[in-house]
Structure formats: C-alpha cells, structure tokens
Amino acid sequence: MISRRQSLLSMASGIGAAFGASAMPDIGRAASGLQATAGGPKRVIFFMQNQGFDPATCVPVGMTSSGSLAGATLPEPIQALEPFKDKLHIINGLHGKHTSPSHSAFFGALGGYRGSDGVPPSGPTIDYELSKALPETMLPHLCIGMDSMENMRAKPTVANLSARGAGKPIFMHSNPNHLYQMLYGSIAEGDIRSQHQARSGMMERIEKLARSEGKALPSADQARFGQFVQGFSDMNGLRDRLSGVSDHLRQFAPEVDDRYTNPEFETDWHDALLDLGISALKSGTTSVLTIGSGRGEIFGAWKGLGVEQQGHNLGHMKQPDNPIWVKIRQYNSRMLVRLMEELESVPEGSGTMMDNTLIVYTSNNADKQHTNGANWPVMLLGNSGGAFKTGCFTQLDGKRPINALYASILQSAGVNCERYNMSEQMAAKFDSCSGPLREVLA
C-alpha cells in the first residue's frame, strides 16, 4: 500500500514536472548585483532550431571572408530578414566539438559542455546566467518549446535545453493554454479564470501539505523534498506577484482565440507560444526568452506549412535548396521579424525595446543532424545599445568555441567573463585564446 508520505512525494514530483516549478529559475529572487551596463542588453532572446543550421542557408552566396552585408543578397531561407540587414550579424566558423553533438547537443548547446541524450546538465546554461545579470524581472527566464501537436499535448513541459546548474534543468512550456493561465490567469475571464483559480487553490494546499509532511522525512530525503516544496512556493509567489500588477498586464495579454482551444495545425500553437513570449517581454515580466523549435530534440513538425515530413526524418535531408527546409527556415525568419517589429513598437529610453535587445538564432546541433560540431553557424540580431557589430558577416577559422560567443554576451551584460563553462584544461584543447569574440563586439 502506498503511504500518505509516498503519495505526497509522487504528487510533488508530478506537479513539479508538469509546471516546471521545481526546475524553473529562482522565481522571485532579486537579480544579482550585476546589472546591464550602459550599451549592454536589457533582454536577450535565444531561438534554437533543431536538426542543425547549415551555413549555406544563411551565408550569402560568394561571401567567403568577413565583410559588410550591405551589398549582399540574403539566401532564400532567411530572405525575410533582408530589410533588417543593418541589424544582422551572420557568424560562421565557431565550433562545439567538445559538446559531443550527434542528434542534439541538448543542454550542451547553451551550456558549452558535453550534452548528449540522457546526460543531465553539468552546469548552468548561458540563458539562465544572463537572467541573473540583466535587470530584475518577475520571471527572469521563460522557456517555450515548439513541437508536433501530439508531443506538445502529451508532454506540455519538457527539459532539454536550459539549466540553472548541474542536475537542475529548466522546463520549456509547450501548451499555450497552460502558459496563458500562468501569466494571465488572474485577469482572464470565463473558463480560463476558473481553471486558474482552481489550480491556484490546489497549489497552495499542496505547498502547505508538503511543508508539514517534509518535516517528518529522514534527513537524507529532506533536501530533495525541499526542492519540490520550493517549486510550489515559487509558483505561488509568481502567481501572487502577477496578480498584483494585473492592471499593467491587462494591456499586454494576447487575445485567446481558436488557435489555443481548437488548433488546426501545430503551427497554430507555435504562433500562440510566440505571442505569449513577446507579451512577456513587452510587459517586462521576463528579460530572457528561450525558444526551442523541436524542443532541443530530433522531433518537431510543421504540417501547417505544408510539410508532411516530421521528426527524425527531417534531419536526414540536406538543407540547402531543399523546399522543405526553405519553408521551415522562412517560417523561423518570419518569427524573428515578428519579434523585432513588436519590440520596435515599444518606446524605451531614447529609442525602442529592440535597441536594447539581442536575439541569438542558431541550432541545438551545430550545422546538421549528424555532426561533430566542427562548424556552428549563428545569427545575431540587434546591437543592444551599440554593444555588438551589425550589418556584417564574420568568417572564423573554427578554432573558437560557442563558449567564446557566450562569454561575449555575458561581458556585454556587465559580467567579467574570460571563459564561459570551460576549464583551462578544456580550453587548451578547444579554444585558441581566452576572452570574448572581438569580432562581434563593437
């Protein structure tokens, strides 16, 4: 027979997984003493497309050395970015060989360390580290994951890309209905409000019950159980803080339409998730948004684009000049444009939110599905108040790791970082020098 204590442990584990509570960033903690410096980013967006990012789908034809994009024509897959070339920096020639990618580098893609299937994170990822350095927000870090409809429904949260430390993954939200309830349940009406209130009451009761039960556990179990209790406390605290600024949030909440409740294709949910991510940025609820298209795995589907193939099979197709991958990359590019246009519409300081934002677009698996990580193309959008070079293409020689780019972003946010997640021993083998990428910083 299952005891009350065992039942509570099981329930805590399940709720923590379902809501990402115990594995989310420290919701409600004050940001560290580090703040964005003048000219540094106030927010950063990571957009990770699975199955690799072939350089031929982003590097203009004929460009083999570093130079300006002004006279270049962008390849068809990213042609939607043509009007934004002055905000774009294409980087080719970084590597991630030390992450041991194959079908995916998983946590290693943003962590800059070994990260294979089933391997837990060995340290924090760059998105979480930035959430500590950037100006404080109610929800410092938000992760959304886009996948096939069946996967998003069966697993509304999953952790494959982001982590706040060794063995501490951060969950991605993949069901826009659940995420809407978390962010805007307090100002919603009808069924959404009722569900939010019911879930809130349940979470509060579970937290109280968990706290009382945890005191009776053996000392060896109390630390682990404490993480579950803290997860409930974090979620309840976030809900209370969001309720306290409901008048402010009301002007940013997306309209709930048929895409949420009756989606025809998985891309309906993809678009709804993007809307929620944008709303969280514009409202100031979060400063770091991580988008996992394919959720850091080999899965993913785009039937809404007319692409019948999905999942692992997509990775066995060459991306250059492939109509299927052109459609997927064009869809991503339209999402990037949407992000920029929405942020440009909001005044901030003497400019707009986009002026103080950096968008990092790449893959969780270097250049292709079966890769050794020798080339890891990246696109940067935005100069974050002049901190980054834009309007250019940079060709590197494959001797600097993705860690060097992450160190550059951290440095622009005011963090003194010579190396990111790389020991001296590792650097001697995988990095030709220390410090940030001078090629990307203005």
Q: Using DSSP, state whether 294 is helix, strand or coil.
A: coil
Q: Report the CATH architecture of 32-176+262-430.
A: 3-Layer(aba) Sandwich (3.40)
pLDDT at 10 exceeding the cut of 50: no
Q: Using only C-alpha atoms, what is the Rg of the chain?
A: 21
pLDDT at 161 exceeding the cut of 90: yes
Question: At 117, phi and psi to the nearest 5?
Answer: -60, 125
Name, in order, each residue with C-beta under 8 angstroms of 7's C-beta and a sequence gap of 6 or more: none
Of 29-43, 122-136, 306-320, 322-336, the poorest mean pLDDT is in 29-43
Rounded Cα distance between 287 and 133, Å, is 10
Residue 195: band (very low, low, confident or very high) from pLDDT cuts 50, 70, 90:
low
Q: Which of 10-14, 49-53, 221-225, 415-419 has the highest mean pLDDT?
A: 49-53
Pairing of strands 88-92, 357-363: unpaired
pLDDT at 233: 52
Instruction: Tell me what the pLDDT averaged over the chain comes to.
Output: 85
Of 40-54, 161-175, 224-238, the poorest mean pLDDT is in 224-238
The 141-146 sheet, strands edge to edge:
67-68, 392-395, 88-92, 378-381, 357-363, 43-49, 288-293, 141-146, 168-173, 157-165
pLDDT above 70 covers what percent of the chain? 79
Q: What is the mean pLDDT of residues 138-145?
A: 93
pLDDT at 108 exceeding the cut of 90: yes
Between 243 and 295, where is the model more confident? Answer: 295
Domain range summary for the chain, segments of one domain joined by +? 1-30+189-252, 32-176+262-430
Residue 33: band (very low, low, confident or very high) from pLDDT cuts 50, 70, 90:
very low
Of 26-40, 316-330, 378-392, 402-416, the poorest mean pLDDT is in 26-40
pLDDT at 430 exceeding the cut of 90: yes
pLDDT at 243: 73
Residue whose C-alpha is closest to residue 23's, from 126, 173, 177: 173
DSSP 124: B
pLDDT at 132 exceeding the cut of 80: yes
Q: Which of 15-19, 34-38, 78-82 has the highest mean pLDDT?
A: 78-82
Residue whose C-alpha is closest to residue 130's, from 39, 277, 32, 230: 32
Any idea how long the chain is? 442
Pair 79, 65: CB distance under 8 Å: no
